[in-house]
Amino acid sequence: MPEQRDTPGPGPLAAREEAAAEAMTVSSSPETARSLGSDAWHDLRRNPIFIVSGLLILFLVVIAIHPSLIATRDPLFCELGRSLDGPAPGHWFGFDAQGCDVYTRTVYGARASIAVGVCATLGVALIGAVVGGLAGFYGGIWDSLLSRTTDIFFAIPLILGAIVFLSMITLTGIWPVVLVIAALGWPQIARIARGAVITAKQHDYVQAARALGAGNGRMLLRHILPNAVAPVIVMSTIMLGTFIALEATLSFLGVGLQPPTVSWGVDISAASDGMQFRNAPHILLYPAAALSVTVLAFIMMGDAVRDALDPKLR
């Protein structure tokens, strides 16, 4: 509520956060945390959405690490003569404009997309959790300083900042993309982490631990961290999906990944460019489907975990 908050407003993603932030009120004491945690796990194991998205993510990660498991060709081997050809024996997804095998490229594309998603999310979660956690834990002047810094980064729309940054530098590859997402995407996580830590600090048992003389480090590790971790993980999972989509969008705008890097975003933007897909829909369909299914898997996973952790929806 604005009266308790000094930041300039909930921001466009506030509502998106809100749902995830609800999860932070989940555990009220170590006992209920454990039983709620195991309750949530019990629920999750029976949730078909969780199982399907979990298996899908597992599959995608394995493919990203070892694409050669299911694709034997070289993604950069192309025959211009077969440009935009349809499916052929051994090439069930057809060929793209350069005459490369769409199936092989779609499989290999997982690596860049997932790598960007995972690395950017790790960066965002780390920066956000540290900044938000410290702000919430120490309060006072630290809170004001860190929260205002969060606001500054929050005020730059992620896609806008990323476009500007990426267009100004000459480096290519996945690292600049990861770097800019991590550098600009963390404020959401910071706000959630700060809220979760403040909530956890107010719990009676934390107050009791403090009264009994528990040190700051011990308080953070034993009492506050376990409560703050769940909402951050839920939000990060959902964000991972959107970061993968963002990479593709940046590639579409010509500032993300560039060929010869193989990524879904690169292939989709090549297919969309000048509506190349009008005569060969397969060059758009397969990478776009792979990308969408991946994003969907992470969002559904985040949703399922949040629902399981949120006792209000039981």
Partner 1 sequence: MGRYVVRRLLQMIPVFIGATFLIFLMVYALGDPVVGLFGDRAPDPATAARLRAEFNLDQPVWRQYLLYLGQILTGDFGTAFNGQPVIELMARSFPISFRLMLVALAFEIVLGITLGVISGLRRGGGVDTTVLLLTLVVIAIPTFVLGTTLQFFLGVELAWIDPAVGPQPGLDELIVPGLILALVSLAYVTRLTRTSVAENRRADYIRTAVAKGLPRRRITTHHLLRNSLIPVVTYLGADIGTLMAGAIVTERIFNIQGVGYQLYQGILRQNSPTVVGFVTVLVLIFLLANLFVDLLYAVLDPRIRYA
Q: Which positions touch partner 1 (CB under 8 A)?
A: 1-3, 6, 8-16, 18-19, 148-149, 151-153, 155-157, 159-161, 163-165, 167-169, 241, 245, 248-249, 252-253, 255, 268-269, 272, 275, 277-278, 284, 288, 291-293, 295-296, 299-300, 312
Instruction: Report, in Å, the least distance between residue 8 CB and partner 1.
Output: 5
The C-alpha atoms of residue 24 and residue 31 are separated, in whole angstroms, by 16
Q: Which is nearer to partner 1, 28 or 276 (CB)?
A: 276
Q: Residue 83 or residue 276: which is nearer to partner 1 going by CB?
A: 276
* 17 or 201: CB nearest partner 1: 17
Collect all residues with Cβ–Cβ distance below 8 Å to 255 and sequence separation of at least 6: 162, 163, 166, 167
Instruction: Decide whether 170 or 202 has the Cβ nearer to partner 1.
Output: 170
Distances 285 to 59, 86, 225, 268, 288 between C-alpha atoms, Å: 20, 12, 43, 8, 5
Distance of CA 190 to the CA centre of its chain: 14
CA distance 196 to 92: 49
| CB distance 125 to 189 below 8 Å | yes
CB of 264 to partner 1, least distance (A): 9
User: Looking at the DSSP assignment, which residues form a beta bridge with residue 95?
Assistant: 101
C-beta of 1: minimal distance to partner 1 in Å? 6
CB of 237 to partner 1, least distance (A): 14
The smaller minimum CB distance to partner 1, of residues 69 and 169, is found at 169
Shortest distance (Å) from residue 94 CB to partner 1: 17
Cα(85)–Cα(91) distance, rounded to whole angstroms?
Answer: 10
If DSSP codes are grouped into helix, strand and coil, which group holds residue 246?
A: helix
Query: Taking each helix axis from N to C terminus, what angle separates 282-309 and 48-65, rounded to the nearest 10 degrees?
Result: 130
Q: Minimum CB separation from partner 1 for residue 313, in Å?
A: 9
Q: Which is nearer to partner 1, 102 or 224 (CB)?
A: 102
